[in-house]
Amino acid sequence: MQQTPLGSISRPKTRIQEQKRGSSTQLTTPSSVNYHFTRQCNYKCGFCFHTAKTSFVLPIEEAKRGLRLLKDAGMEKVNFSGGEPFLHERGNFLGELVRFCKQELQLPSVSIVSNGSLIRETWFQKYGDYLDILAVSCDSFDENTNKVIGRGQGQKSHLDKLHKVRNWCREYKVAFKINSVINTYNVDEDMTEQISALNPVRWKVFQCLLIEGENAGEDSLREAEKFVISDQQFQDFLDRHQNVKCLVPESNQKMRDSYLILDEYMRFLDCREGRKDPSKSILDVGVKEAITFSGFDEKMFLIRGGKYVWSKADMKLEW
């Protein structure tokens, strides 16, 4: 991975002069932040909307400095994602950030989104106490469908690993969550039985989303157009699973501007125009300045259920 000495990190220029601030002058509090600290991944999901365009990862002390800035600005929950967050330094970089956020920053909620393939039980033994929620991505309960989508590696079973991780979450007292992207290859599937058996605290169901420069357009590393479904197809999928109590649906409209996304340089990404326009890094200009270019819609964040019981200490789960 690219690494540079502290104090000499070169961050790419942004479109910041071309961007428009949000229409509201009200200060945005970064209560829940998604930090994509790496773009590298061992899977090749065809619809991926945060692709391996760089191999950059901040030095860990710089990442911690940025996380402290966010905590001081009001962050209560951080979600680590990628790429695949367990790929860099075999999950130790991720683990140390998880420990830092829970132990030193004392954040109410620390979570991870992963494809699950690289998670080991030894990671739970070392870092499980500091993690509130682990979300594993699973788009189908048919192994062949997962492989067609790109969620797989060689002969390894994505579903077998999903069940292993679920059991480890129970054993090490980490709340378990599932994320699914609904697309042309799984839109007709009925997952009710399998989701009910796994019993996650939340099942996030996303409508496949196109982002220019990531999975659509000339400069993209993916071509996701063939995965896109209509709003009606998405609604039909939701109707089929209406009895799954843990289901949390997210249409394209809800996804675009209801997330505070921080990239590998700790820049907020504005997705309102169907692409990811970066702010300047919070490490250079601070959170207050950078967040005005995030495109974040706090009202939509609340509408989609972004604020929930996100600390495992408050979930009262029966392990």
pLDDT at residue number 58: 98
Nearest CA-CA partner of 199 in 234, 160, 241, 170: 170
**Catalytic member of 45, 101, 138, 208:** 45
pLDDT at residue number 16: 40
**Catalytic member of 48, 101, 169, 208:** 48
pLDDT at residue number 49: 74
- Ranges of beta strands (E only) in the chain are 32-36, 77-81, 109-114, 133-137, 175-182, 202-207, 247-250, 261-262, 267-270, 277-281
How far is Cα 103 from Cα 289, in angstroms, rounded to an integer? 27
Sequence-ordered list of residues with C-beta below 8 angstroms from that of 87, at least 6 positions apart, any chain: 38, 40, 41, 42, 118
Sequence-ordered list of residues with C-beta below 8 angstroms from that of 223, at least 6 positions apart, any chain: 46, 215, 216
pLDDT tens digit at each of 319 positions of the chain:
444 444 456 666 554 434 444 444 457 899 999 999 999 999 989 888 777 788 999 999 999 999 999 999 999 999 999 999 999 999 999 999 999 999 999 999 999 999 999 999 999 999 999 999 999 999 999 999 999 999 988 888 999 999 999 999 999 999 999 999 999 999 999 999 999 999 999 999 999 987 777 767 777 777 778 999 999 999 999 999 999 999 999 988 777 677 899 999 999 988 777 777 899 999 999 999 999 999 888 888 887 888 899 999 999 888 7
CB 11 within 8 A of CB 281: yes
101 is catalytic: no
Question: Listing from the earlier edge strand, what are the strands of the sheet with 277-281?
Answer: 247-250, 202-207, 175-182, 133-137, 109-114, 77-81, 32-36, 261-262, 267-270, 277-281
CA angle 266, 272, 276 (to 5 degrees): 40
Determine how β-strand 277-281 pairs with β-strand 133-137.
unpaired
138 is catalytic: no
pLDDT at residue number 19: 42
45 is catalytic: yes
DSSP state of 236: H
- Number of neighbours of residue 201 by Cβ within 10 angstroms: 19
CATH no. of 32-308 = 3.20.20.70
